Amino acid sequence: MYTEDCFAGRVRSEKDLVSSVCEFPFLNPQTGPFHVVGAEPGDTVAVHFVSVEPARDWAASTTVPLSCGVAVECAMNTLVLAELLKGVTTPWPRIESDTHLMSTGSARPLEDALRISQLDLVQWLARDYGLSGLDAYQLVSQAGEAPLANVCDTNYTCVAKIRKEWLPAGDPHRGHHRHLRETATLLPSP
């Protein structure tokens, strides 16, 4: 999959001022939509990023949280694996890494984005780790992290995350993170 940079490839040197070469508000093109055969409401598409490589000789940089709406972004060539999880409802985007479970919430005001991410992580832990709602709530309240991701766009984005090492035995999203990671090792090098 190829994704374009946030300025649709129009900024090619330090002489290309965004205000001169870009047409507002038509910025930040996204790849998609994607059609997933068999997907229907209530399903989840699990996506594993195998590799993300710059498509051109550029550097990328931003502050975290993204605070002013601009960053040094670049086009990417990305290899992903995707798998359909039938009947697994994911109300908000969720991320599983080797070390953390993360839930995102996007809304305005910022407090709503925070509440969405926190509640979704609590519900995820209750569903996939067998914790009661109150036990999951207490665990996230005491051991969770809440980094801000984006405080400049139409919606703000917060992340609720917790280290896997602090969780009881469980199998989030039916073990698909582990499965997709193992499948990625079988792919030829790009």
pLDDT band at 165 (very low <50, low <70, confident <90, very high): very high
Residue type, 13: S
The answer, yes or no, to whether the previous bond of 93 is cis (omega within 30 of 0) is no
Please state, as a whole number, how many other Cβ atoms lie within 10 Å of the Cβ of residue 52: 12
Residues in a beta bridge with 102: 95, 161
Query: If pLDDT is split at 50, 70 and 90, which confidence band does 73 have?
Result: confident
Token reading at 1: 């999959």
Taking the C-alpha atoms of residue 5 and residue 72, their distance in angstroms, rounded to an integer, is 9
Of 13-27, 85-99, 147-161, 176-190, the range with the lowest mean pLDDT is 13-27
Question: Where do the domains of the chain lie, and which CATH numbers do they carry?
Answer: 94-172 (3.10.28.20)
Query: What pLDDT shows up at residue 166?
Result: 94
Cβ contact 50:184 at 8 Å: yes
DSSP secondary structure string, the chain?
Answer: -EE--TTTT---STT--HHHH--TT-----------TT--TT-EEEEEEEEEEESSS---B--SSB-SS--B---EEEEEEEEEETT---SS-EEE-SSEEEEEEEESSHHHHHHHHHHHHHHHHHHHH---HHHHHHHHHHH-B--EEESSSSSEEEEEEEEGGGSPS--GGGGHHHHHHHHHHTSPP-
Interatomic CA distance for residues 160 and 44, integer angstroms: 19
Distances (CA, A) of 174 to 167, 171, 188: 16, 5, 26
Quote the distance between the C-alpha of residue 106 and its chain's center.
11
How buried is residue 150: exposed, middle or buried, by Cβ count under 10 Å (0-12/13-18/19+)? buried
pTM: 0.81
pLDDT at residue 101, rounded to an integer: 97
* Predicted local distance difference test score (pLDDT) of residue 104: 94
pLDDT of residue 133: 96
